[in-house]
Amino acid sequence: MATQIKFGTSGWRAVVAEEFTVDNIRRAVTGIARYVASQKPSGARLVVGRDPRFMGESFVDIAAGILEAHGVQPLVITDAAPTPAISWEVMRQKADGAINFTASHNPPEYNGIKFSTPDGAPALPEVTKKIEAEIAKIDRAEPTEAAKVKREEIEVKSHYLARLAEVVDLGAIKKSGLKVAFDPLWGAARGYSDSLLRDAGIGIATVHDYRDVLFGGHAPEPDGHLLNDLRAKMKETGAKIGIATDGDADRFGIVDEDGTFISPNYIIGLLFDYLVESRGWKNGVAKSVATTNLVNALADYHKVELHETPVGFKYIGELIKQDKIAIGGEESAGLTIRYHVPEKDGVLAGLLCCEMVAKRGKSLSAQLKELFVKVGSFFPERQNFHLTEEEKSKFTVKLQTNPADFAGHKVSKVVRTDGLKLVLDDGSWVCYRVSGTEPVVRAYTEARNEKEMEQLSAAAKQWIYQ
């Protein structure tokens, strides 16, 4: 029986040689080709790209052949490219979407296929359901027919970097004398962030600037515990900020001048505040339901409309397309800004942090303290709990209940935008989301001081198993 291919919050991902096989790649791409051809029977063009994972070049070649056979012209990116660069290219070329072979921040044994629509945004569920329906009609991979159209090879780096140079104040960074260290984690942003800064005359040092399909033996995730080489490079070069990106460069990781990793929750809040201050943008702000209420407090402070979305950047992308927000972000280290791509951009996030530090002349930690003085303090945390299938089923039923109290507090509001979020009478909250792809439940908590956060996190764990 053929594997059921389902597109989750950010495409279809699986382990190479288990479910991510050439046969299933052919089925998935055939489904996409059929969908695109149904939307535009003649003249359709799709950008086809990849991150630097194992066999990415071969997968791109296979996909291009299938598209050619279905009359959809492949615009093949010759080198590994960041997801946001692929998104920008779709918009620039006025293409009909993109196929991107990437598993983002997943461990090296994974790969995946992400489909973007003609607006450069991640495909919404109504689109991926149609693609899944096309795939389901295919019992096995169809043989590739003779090409009806010919592929075209394209380069995206220069166009994307030119766009970033318009969005980020590189002159202010250079003028400040700020030194930067960069860690692409062997991923798709190699030669992007550092090249742009170097060409602008900004002091930049890079680590992990070579291809390694094993990503150093761990997931290419720009989380604090994986950025020690970046910290060492900062110390060695006197860099005042460290910026990092994940495997496909849609997520970011930021290290302050003293080596402190700054939570993505805080970066989103800081950059929101900075964009209101520096650009005067007050049209709106978006965050996922699991992201810090620091954003809510800042929205109230700046009198800016707040949009709270389900988890999945495609929902924030929709608001960017409609120009309803100046910035949108998720606690999982994804953000974008007004007039830019409706997709997570880890390269942009790091560069904007450099600009913010340069123009404000203060460390990120110092800026965060000032933010807390302005709107109060917030301490968010995320925990992952691995459950047996039986435990997962039992907990899924429990999520349908409406608790009257939690952790010694009255529940003042129940939010079901995504999973179950309980807002407590003291302003703290807990949010549970069950993974659709593995027996894991994610518990997000936030309180107004560290002691209460620890107590709430412990209560969040206890509630899962009681």
Instruction: Tell me which of 356, 375, 394 is where a domain ends.
Output: 375
Instruction: Tell me which of 323, 357, 375 is where a domain ends.
Output: 375
One domain, residues 383 and 362:
no
One domain, residues 401 and 262:
no
The phi and psi torsions of 40 (rounded to 5 degrees) equal -145, 90
One domain, residues 292 and 175:
yes
Task: Please provide the distance, in angstroms rounded to a whole number, between the alpha carbons at the two ends of the chain.
Answer: 38
Determine, yes or no, domain membership for 6: no
Determine, yes or no, domain membership for 74: yes
Read off the pLDDT of residues 104-141 as tens digits, 9 standing for 90 and up: 999 999 999 999 999 999 999 999 999 999 999 987 77
Instruction: Tell me which of 127, 155, 183 is where a domain ends.
Output: 155
- Under a CB-based contact definition with an 8 Å cutoff, are residues 208 and 183 in contact? yes
The phi and psi torsions of 336 (rounded to 5 degrees) equal -150, 175
Look at residue 53 in the predicted model and tell me its pLDDT.
Answer: 98
One domain, residues 367 and 390:
no
Look at residue 440 in the predicted model and tell me its pLDDT.
Answer: 86
- Under a CB-based contact definition with an 8 Å cutoff, are residues 303 and 285 in contact? no
The closest alpha carbon to 175, from 299, 357, 11, 22, belongs to 357
- The CATH number that applies at residue 255 is 3.40.120.10
The answer on pLDDT for 93 being more than 70 is yes
Read off the pLDDT of residues 404-441 as tens digits, 9 standing for 90 and up: 999 999 999 999 999 999 999 999 999 999 876 567 89
One domain, residues 98 and 70:
yes
Read off the pLDDT of residues 310-332 as tens digits, 9 standing for 90 and up: 998 999 999 999 999 999 999 99
Read off the pLDDT of residues 148-173 as tens digits, 9 standing for 90 and up: 999 999 999 999 999 999 999 999 99
Read off the pLDDT of residues 352-404 as tens digits, 9 standing for 90 and up: 999 999 999 999 999 999 999 999 999 999 999 999 988 888 999 999 999 99
Determine, yes or no, domain membership for 1: no
One domain, residues 168 and 297:
yes
Band (pLDDT 50/70/90 cuts) for residue 33 is: very high
Distance CA 433, CA 415 (A): 12
- The CATH number that applies at residue 447 is 3.30.310.50
Determine, yes or no, domain membership for 219: yes
One domain, residues 128 and 165:
no
The answer on pLDDT for 10 being more than 90 is no
Look at residue 74 in the predicted model and tell me its pLDDT.
Answer: 98
Distance CA 256, CA 252 (A): 13
The closest alpha carbon to 297, from 356, 371, 362, belongs to 371
One domain, residues 294 and 361:
yes
Look at residue 437 in the predicted model and tell me its pLDDT.
Answer: 58
Look at residue 438 in the predicted model and tell me its pLDDT.
Answer: 67
Average pLDDT value for the chain: 96
CA atoms within 13 Å, Cβ hemisphere of 222: 39
Domain enclosing residue 116, as ranges: 12-155
Q: What is the mean pLDDT of residues 91-99?
A: 98
One domain, residues 124 and 170:
no
Read off the pLDDT of residues 444-465 as tens digits, 9 standing for 90 and up: 999 999 999 999 999 999 999 9
The three state secondary structure string of the chain is CCCCCCCEECEEEEEECCCECHHHHHHHHHHHHHHHHHHCCCCCEEEEEECCCCCHHHHHHHHHHHHHHCCCEEEEECCCCCHHHHHHHHHHHCCCCEEEECCCCCCCCEEEEEEECCCCCECCHHHHHHHHHHHHCCCCCCCCCCCCCCCEEECCHHHHHHHHHHHCCHHHHHHHCCEEEEECCCCCCCCCHHHHHHHCCCEEEECCCCCCCCHHHCCCCCCHHHCHHHHHHHHHHCCCEEEEECCCCCCEEEECCCCCEECHHHHHHHHHHHHHHHHCCCCCEEEECCCCCHHHHHHHHHCCCEEEECCCHHHHHHHHHCCCCCEEEECCCEEEECCCCCCCCHHHHHHHHHHHHHHHCCCHHHHHHHHHHHHCCCEEEEEEEECCHHHHHHHHHHCCCCCCEECCEEEEEEECCCCEEEEECCCCEEEEEECCCCCEEEEEEEECCHHHHHHHHHHHHHHHHC
Band (pLDDT 50/70/90 cuts) for residue 1 is: low
Determine, yes or no, domain membership for 78: yes
Determine, yes or no, domain membership for 427: yes
Distance CA 186, CA 403 (A): 45
Look at residue 436 in the predicted model and tell me its pLDDT.
Answer: 64
Determine, yes or no, domain membership for 2: no
Q: What is the mean pLDDT of residues 181-205?
A: 98
The closest alpha carbon to 112, from 123, 102, 122, 98, belongs to 102
Q: What is the mean pLDDT of residues 270-287?
A: 98
Number of domains in the chain: 3
One domain, residues 350 and 402:
no
One domain, residues 257 and 390:
no
Determine, yes or no, domain membership for 351: yes
Look at residue 393 in the predicted model and tell me its pLDDT.
Answer: 86
